[in-house]
């Protein structure tokens, strides 16, 4: 009798949930009783229906396993509740995804965008990952304020919006990640049980329930202000970014807003604009000996600067900030520098102190702490980001990961300057404002998607 009462109560609750969903334009993707409309792909993890929800159980020595919809979806708003049994258990929600049966040596590969479920101390739940393809598109380091939205040990409400080329995520009502992509107009939706390789993770469970979707009458949901957008459409800004104060520094087709660091006009040689790229033309590795550095017409103080760059083999370049052009030099203009370098080939990587001339470092001052998986190969695009807050706190990012931070003008900063090549310049790096500079160091380097937001 007790089991019958429990069953009836669950049936009533499920019916009420379905009715509420229908009233708001949502339809259930899961009937609460069977896995009808779903199929398992890739690994060997187990999925079954329990207590009106779906339980996924990790299996030792299995690859990533996905329970995916048989139907594909284009534009939609997806909502569901998720709970992990352990902080050792990783999961995710696939959207607009696909399956390659020949992938992973015939074991099958699911690929496409994923809303991350990460209960570990890293706290990247809500970040956006490209499963089986491009790796991380939006590590939650890009919006660290959302890291605490997920609560371990309880069901969490997850919302994913895919409209047009945009994907947004919310965790328990907190805006988490925002990606504008160039791939996948549609695909299946999937639930993931992550691969495991140790006994401690075997048998750990992930719980999904109240899975519903809306596909008609869609309107983009309000998103919190001030969230960084990973915009993969080159040289473009979304209405959200424009409303948030972002401006393009390069329009993708002209040198508007830039001039030579040594004159009032744009260089007549050494640079080219082609195919949406602003490119340094290589010239045997000479520093500022061909076209020379270029700088923004405008001066900037506190700002958030984002840029994409692509290096040739052995390349050396840099993005400098607080460049005043007051110093007289024969080579590159003086300023704080986000180093752009092929660490594996260019000799500068082994100079300086403790690697402080390597990629994404504050050149000759502070070493970037990088994980190899977040450094894209030569010939691929990398995304750099420099944030200078109004209080002079500065952060460098590489491909969404913060790699260093410091306080401009602090005693620690000045002590570093005193043992660097910049010690001969009075008050180095402490100007109230300055130009943004792209360096000509005599190597082929491409730039695009340069955008900036002034901070108050």
Q: How many CA atoms lie within 13 A of 71 on its CB side?
A: 9
pLDDT score for 433: 98
pLDDT, mean of residues 328-357: 94
* 219 domain-assigned: no
Domain residues for the domain of 8 are 2-214
pLDDT score for 330: 80
Please, what is the average pLDDT of the chain? 93
* 227 domain-assigned: no
Q: How far apart are CA 3 and CA 442, in angstroms?
A: 76
pLDDT, mean of residues 283-309: 90
In terms of domains, do 270 and 382 share one?
yes
Domain with 207 in it: what CATH number? 2.60.120.560
In terms of domains, do 303 and 347 share one?
yes
In terms of domains, do 166 and 209 share one?
yes
pLDDT band at residue 5 using 50, 70 and 90 as cut-offs = very low
pLDDT, mean of residues 170-180: 98
pLDDT > 60? residue 451: yes
Percent of the chain with pLDDT over 70: 95
Give Cα separations from 4 to 8, 9, 216, 337, 373 (angstroms).
Answer: 6, 9, 37, 69, 52
In terms of domains, do 201 and 254 share one?
no
In terms of domains, do 207 and 242 share one?
no
In terms of domains, do 330 and 436 share one?
yes
Q: How far apart are CA 280 and CA 103, in angstroms?
A: 38
Give Cα separations from 243 to 58, 150, 239, 250 (angstroms).
Answer: 44, 28, 6, 18
pLDDT score for 88: 83
* 326 domain-assigned: yes
pLDDT score for 3: 45
The tally of domains found in the chain comes to: 2
Q: Which residue has the higher pLDDT, 107 or 4?
A: 107
pLDDT score for 220: 94
In terms of domains, do 46 and 128 share one?
yes
In terms of domains, do 352 and 291 share one?
yes
Q: Tokens 């807050």 appear where?
A: 389
Contacts of 3 (CB under 8 A, 6+ apart): none
* 438 domain-assigned: yes
pLDDT, mean of residues 90-119: 95
pLDDT, mean of residues 330-350: 95
pLDDT band at residue 74 using 50, 70 and 90 as cut-offs = very high
* 180 domain-assigned: yes
pLDDT score for 285: 66
Q: How far apart are CA 361 and CA 95, in angstroms?
A: 35
* 239 domain-assigned: yes
* 327 domain-assigned: yes
Closest CA to 363 of 289, 441, 251, 270: 441
Q: How big is the chain, counted in residues?
A: 456
Domain boundary among 184, 214, 244: 214
CA angle 103, 107, 109 (to 5 degrees): 40
Least confident segment among 4-18, 108-122, 126-140, 392-406: 4-18
pLDDT > 70? residue 164: yes
pLDDT tens-digit profile of 47-65?
A: 999 999 999 998 888 889 9
In terms of domains, do 161 and 258 share one?
no
Strands 187-193 and 46-50: unpaired
3-state secondary structure of 128: strand
- The tokens describing 171, both together, are 């965790």
pLDDT score for 61: 84
Domain boundary among 214, 249, 283: 214
Q: What is the DSSP string of 229-288?
A: -EE-STT---HHHHHTTEEES--SS--TTEEETTSSS--SSSEEEETTEEEEPP-TT-TT
pLDDT score for 43: 86
In terms of domains, do 174 and 132 share one?
yes
pLDDT tens-digit profile of 405-419?
A: 999 999 999 999 999
* 350 domain-assigned: yes
In terms of domains, do 299 and 362 share one?
yes
Least confident segment among 201-210, 224-233, 251-260, 267-276: 201-210
pLDDT score for 229: 98
Q: What is the DSSP string of 19-87?
A: HHHHHTT-EES--SS--TTEEEEES--EEEEETTEEEEE--BT---EEEEEEEEESSEEEEEEEEES-T
In terms of domains, do 273 and 143 share one?
no
pLDDT tens-digit profile of 105-126?
A: 998 999 999 999 999 999 999 9
pLDDT band at residue 14 using 50, 70 and 90 as cut-offs = very low
């Amino acid at each position: 009798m007790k089991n019958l009462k429990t069953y009836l109560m669950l049936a009533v609750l499920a019916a009420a949930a379905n009715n509420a969903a229908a009233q708001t334009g949502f339809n259930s993707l899961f009937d609460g009783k069977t896995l009808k409309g779903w199929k398992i792909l890739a690994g060997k993890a187990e999925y079954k229906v329990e207590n009106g929800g779906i339980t996924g159980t990790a299996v030792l020595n299995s690859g990533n396993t996905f329970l995916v919809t048989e139907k594909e979806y284009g534009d939609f708003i997806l909502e569901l509740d998720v709970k992990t049994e352990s902080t050792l258990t990783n999961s995710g929600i696939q959207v607009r995804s696909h399956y390659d049966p020949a992938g992973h040596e015939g074991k099958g590969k699911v690929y496409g965008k994923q809303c991350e479920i990460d209960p570990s101390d890293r706290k990247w739940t809500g970040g956006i990952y490209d499963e089986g393809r491009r790796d991380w598109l939006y590590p939650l380091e890009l919006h660290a304020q959302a890291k605490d939205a997920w609560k371990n040990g309880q069901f969490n409400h997850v919302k994913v919006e895919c409209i047009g080329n945009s994907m947004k995520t919310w965790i328990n009502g907190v805006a988490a990640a925002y990606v504008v992509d160039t791939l996948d107009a549609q695909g299946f939706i999937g639930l993931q049980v992550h691969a495991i390789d140790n006994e401690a993770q075997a048998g750990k469970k992930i719980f999904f329930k109240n899975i519903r979707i809306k596909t008609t009458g869609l309107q983009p949901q309000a998103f919190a202000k001030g969230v960084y957008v990973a915009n993969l459409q080159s040289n473009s800004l979304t209405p959200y970014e424009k409303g948030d104060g972002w401006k393009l520094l390069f329009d993708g087709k002209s040198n508007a807003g830039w001039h030579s660091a040594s004159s009032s006009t744009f260089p007549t040689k050494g640079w080219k604009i082609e195919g949406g790229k602003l490119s340094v033309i290589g010239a045997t590795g000479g520093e500022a000996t061909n076209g020379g550095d270029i700088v923004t017409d405008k001066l900037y103080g506190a700002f958030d600067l984002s840029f994409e760059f692509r290096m040739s083999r052995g390349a050396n370049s840099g993005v400098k900030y607080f460049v005043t052009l007051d110093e007289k030099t024969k080579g590159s203009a003086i300023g704080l520098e986000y180093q752009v370098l092929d660490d594996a080939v260019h000799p500068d990587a082994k100079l300086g102190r403790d690697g402080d001339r390597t990629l994404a470092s504050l050149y000759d001052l502070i070493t970037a702490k990088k994980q190899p998986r977040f450094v894209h190969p030569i010939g691929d695009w990398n995304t750099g980001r420099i944030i200078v807050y109004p209080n002079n706190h500065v952060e460098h990012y590489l491909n969404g990961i913060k790699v260093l931070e410091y306080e401009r003008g602090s005693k620690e900063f000045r002590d570093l300057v005193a043992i660097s090549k910049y010690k001969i310049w009075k008050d180095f790096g402490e100007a109230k404002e300055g130009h943004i500079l792209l360096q000509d160091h005599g190597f082929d380097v491409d730039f695009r998607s340069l955008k900036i937001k002034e901070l108050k």
